């Protein structure tokens, strides 16, 4: 079936396989067309389009992102597939992907391991049926047959031609897929659907700027991938790095041993701070983790205090709950960091 997308700057034509149920967003991205998206999983509304002609099928009529659809005929490209030839309008400028970009693909995988990090956070290891190229900071869509819709999770690890993908999953109240993962009984061996890589908050060693990573909660996942890539390239021999990890209390903290290893390996040009919003740092932490700094406060406030006079040459990476990301963006813009030096993928 033929899909025609009329963007503000040009018209894009591509085809999908009849009856395959391929989402219009996925089909366009897989063919190198940079259609607009953020979460790509039905929550943010960024991928909305207006149906001009043709018929579509909506895989998730109750998707949270539908609340952003106001005009007649609007739909979410990440949730809808074409059942006939389709013409759609997208209220954005749409270009072709840059040469060398990691083009997303659909694949299958299998859960090979899980590990609890806190009472509501786990690592999830998935082995893909085929090698996947991704850039540090990107995410994948993951789905299982038992749960409607796919969810976006950032990779924690970084490897070229990766077969093993490690994700960080937080159990969310009412989160059907996270409830399925955290339920009694091992999910090891369960099959999954994968689509990706996705995401614009990518890191490349050729960047040539100091790194600033500000993450709330499980948003730290993509930052760990960025740090892994930077470590592989000895990036902190040439540039400074500052990582701010915000959580509510010490019971919500993880990756302290990995942060300690990174600090020891990368030297004094990398600094790591854990920000506790709901309690003061307990006594004895400085002795137990001498290479990590602990402070009280919201993560963007702690970052603002520590980064005074240090923002002239940074590329900032942000992740976490939308309010935390928005607060960090405001802080950076007020500190005269330009928008083109701020990268984030905001999940609703």
What's domain 105-198's superfamily in CATH? Translation factors (2.40.30.10)
The per-residue pLDDT for 18 is 63
- Displacement of CA 178 from its chain's centroid (Å): 16
- Asked whether the beta carbons of 141 and 195 are under 8 A apart, the reply is yes
CA distance 188 to 110: 8
Say what the pLDDT of residue 243 is: 99
Q: Which CATH superfamily is domain 2-89 in?
A: Beta-grasp domain (3.10.20.30)
Confidence of residue 348 (pLDDT cuts 50, 70, 90): low
Encode pLDDT of 225-255 as tens digits.
Answer: 999 999 999 999 999 999 999 999 999 999 9
- For domain 205-344, give its CATH number from 3.40.1260.10, 3.40.50.150, 3.40.50.80, 3.30.56.10: 3.40.50.80
Mean pLDDT, the chain, integer: 95
pLDDT digits (tens, 9 = 90+) for 4-28: 999 999 999 998 876 678 999 999 9
Of 69-78, 88-97, 183-192, 324-333, least confident by mean pLDDT is: 183-192
Report the distance separating Cα 279 and Cα 184, nearest Å.
31
Q: What is the pLDDT of residue 99?
A: 81
pLDDT number for residue 61 = 92
Angle of CA points 193, 91, 10, to nearest 5°: 95
* Model pLDDT, residue 151: 93
pLDDT band at 149 (very low <50, low <70, confident <90, very high): confident
Maximum distance among all Cα pairs of the chain, rounded to whole angstroms: 66
Here the contacts of 277-285 (C-beta below 8 Å, separation 24 or greater) are: 277/246, 277/247, 277/248, 278/248, 278/249, 279/248, 279/249, 279/250, 281/250, 282/250, 285/250
For helices 220-232 and 256-266, give the axis angle rounded to 10 degrees: 30
Mean pLDDT, to the nearest integer, of 25-53? 95
How far apart are alpha carbons 237 and 233 in whole angstroms?
9
**Same CATH fold assignment for domains 2-89 and 105-198:** no
Tell me the percentage of the chain whose pLDDT exceeds 70.
99
Residue with the larger pLDDT of the pair 172 and 256: 256
Looking at residue 17, its pLDDT comes to: 77
- The ranges assigned to domains in the chain are 2-89, 105-198, 205-344
Q: Is the pLDDT of residue 169 over 70?
A: yes
> Quick one: residue 64, left, alpha or beta (phi over 0 = left, psi -120 to 50 = alpha)?
alpha
Q: What is the mean pLDDT of residues 20-42?
A: 94
Q: Are 49 and 90 in contact (CB under 8 A)?
A: yes
Would you say 313 and 210 are in contact if contact means Cβ atoms under 8 Å apart?
yes
Look at residue 100 in the predicted model and tell me its pLDDT.
82
- The three-state DSSP-derived secondary structure of the chain is CEEEEECCCCEEEEECCCCCCCEHHHHHHHCCECCCCCCCCCCCCCCEEEEEECCEEECCCCCHHHHHCCCCCEEECCCEEECCCEEEECCCCCCECCCCCCCCEEEEEEEEEEEECCCCEEEEEEEEEEEECCCECCEEEEECCCCCCCEEEEECCCCCCEEEEEEEEECCCCCHHHHHHHCCCCCCCCEEEEEEEECCCCECHHHCCEEEEEEEHHHHHHHHHHHHHHHHCCHHHCCCEEEEEEECCHHHCCCHHHHHHHHHHHCCCEEEEEEECCCCCCCCHHHHCCCCEEEECCHHHHHHHHCCCCCCCEEEEEECCHHHHHHHHHHHHHCCCCHHHEEECCCC
């Amino acid at each position: 079936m033929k899909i025609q997308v009329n963007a503000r700057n040009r018209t894009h034509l591509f085809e999908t396989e009849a009856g395959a149920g391929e989402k219009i967003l996925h089909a366009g991205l897989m063919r190198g067309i940079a259609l607009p998206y953020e979460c790509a999983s039905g929550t943010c509304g960024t991928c909305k389009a207006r149906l001009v002609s043709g018929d579509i099928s909506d895989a998730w009529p109750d998707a949270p992102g539908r609340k952003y659809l106001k005009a007649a005929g609007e739909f979410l490209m990440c949730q809808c597939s074409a059942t006939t030839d389709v013409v759609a309008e997208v209220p954005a400028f749409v270009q072709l992907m840059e040469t060398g970009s990691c083009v997303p693909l659909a694949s299958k995988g299998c859960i090979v391991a899980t590990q609890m990090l806190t009472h509501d956070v786990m690592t999830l290891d998935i082995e893909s049926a085929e090698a996947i190229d991704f850039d540090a900071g990107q995410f994948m869509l993951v789905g299982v047959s038992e749960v409607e819709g796919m969810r976006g999770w950032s990779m924690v690890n970084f490897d070229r031609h990766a077969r093993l993908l490690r994700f960080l999953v937080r159990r969310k109240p009412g989160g059907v897929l996270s409830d399925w993962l955290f339920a009694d009984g091992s999910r090891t061996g369960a099959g999954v659907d994968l689509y990706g890589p996705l995401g614009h908050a990518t890191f490349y060693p050729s960047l040539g700027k100091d790194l600033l990573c500000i993450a709330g909660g499980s948003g730290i996942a993509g930052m760990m991938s960025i740090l892994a890539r930077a470590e592989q390239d000895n990036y902190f021999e040439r540039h400074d790095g500052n990582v701010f990890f915000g959580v509510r209390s010490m019971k919500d903290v993880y990756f302290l041993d990995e942060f300690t290893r990174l600090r020891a390996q990368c030297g004094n040009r990398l600094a790591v701070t854990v920000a506790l919003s709901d309690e003061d740092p307990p006594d004895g932490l400085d002795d137990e983790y001498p290479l990590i700094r602990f402070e009280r406060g919201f993560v963007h406030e702690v970052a603002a205090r520590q980064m005074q006079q240090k923002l002239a040459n940074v590329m900032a990476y942000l992740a976490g709950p939308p309010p935390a990301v928005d607060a960090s963006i405001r802080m950076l813009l007020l500190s005269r960091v330009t928008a083109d030096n701020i990268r984030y993928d905001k999940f609703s």
